[in-house]
Amino acid sequence: MNLVQAAAVWVLWRSGHFDTHDIASAIGASEADVCRIVHAAKERERGPDLQLIQGTQA
């Protein structure tokens, strides 16, 4: 999958009108690749998994 296809996956997914199977068929990629792109983009939007601990430990 190239960058243009990955961008198309995200745009189509975010539109809410297509599922992963439809997107894979439309761009000629495997559904597994589409799922990986969607998952990676969601993780990127979520941001780093960072936990702040305040206070002191005695």
- Residue owning tokens 């961008």: 7
- Residue owning tokens 């997914």: 13
Report yes or no on 11 lying in a domain. yes
DSSP 39: H
Domain that holds residue 39: 3-46
Report yes or no on 53 lying in a domain. no
Report yes or no on 56 lying in a domain. no
Tally of domains within the chain: 1
Amino acid in the structure at residue 35: C
Report yes or no on 55 lying in a domain. no
Burial 7-23 (b: 16+ CB within 10 A, else e): ebbbebbeeeebebeeb
Report yes or no on 39 lying in a domain. yes
pLDDT in tens, the chain (58 residues): 899 999 999 999 999 999 999 999 999 999 999 999 999 999 888 877 666 666 666 5
Report yes or no on 20 lying in a domain. yes
Report yes or no on 23 lying in a domain. yes
Report yes or no on 58 lying in a domain. no
